[in-house]
Chains A and B, each alone.
Chain A
Amino acid sequence: MRLASLLLAACSLPAAAQQHWLVIAGSSHSAVEAIKLTAKLRALEPSASVVMSSDCENLRLGLYLSAAAVTADRAIAQAALEKAKTIAHDSYLRECKARPASLIALNIPAIDPSIEKVPGDAVNWTDEDRTSTVAKLPSGYLWLRRTYVAAPEDPQEGRRTAVLFFAAKPADARQLTEDCSDSGHAQNGTRLALSCARESAGDNLFHEITVYDTSTARPLLEIKHCRKPNLPTPNQLACQSEEVDAQGILHLRPKQLEIPNR
Chain B
Amino acid sequence: MALHLNLFHEIQTTRQLQRRDPLKLSIYGLSAIAACFAGYYVFQFGRMHTINTELNRVQSQFSALEPKAKAAKKREEEINVEIKKSDLMAKRIENRFYWAPVLEQIAQSVPREVQITRLAGDLSGEGLRKCSLTVDGISAGSDPRQVAEDVRTAIAEKIGAKYKNVTSNFKTLEDGTELVVLDGKQMPTATFAINVQLTAGEDAAPPPPPRRKR
Chains A and B form a bound pair: no
Residues on A lying within 8 angstroms of B by beta carbon are none
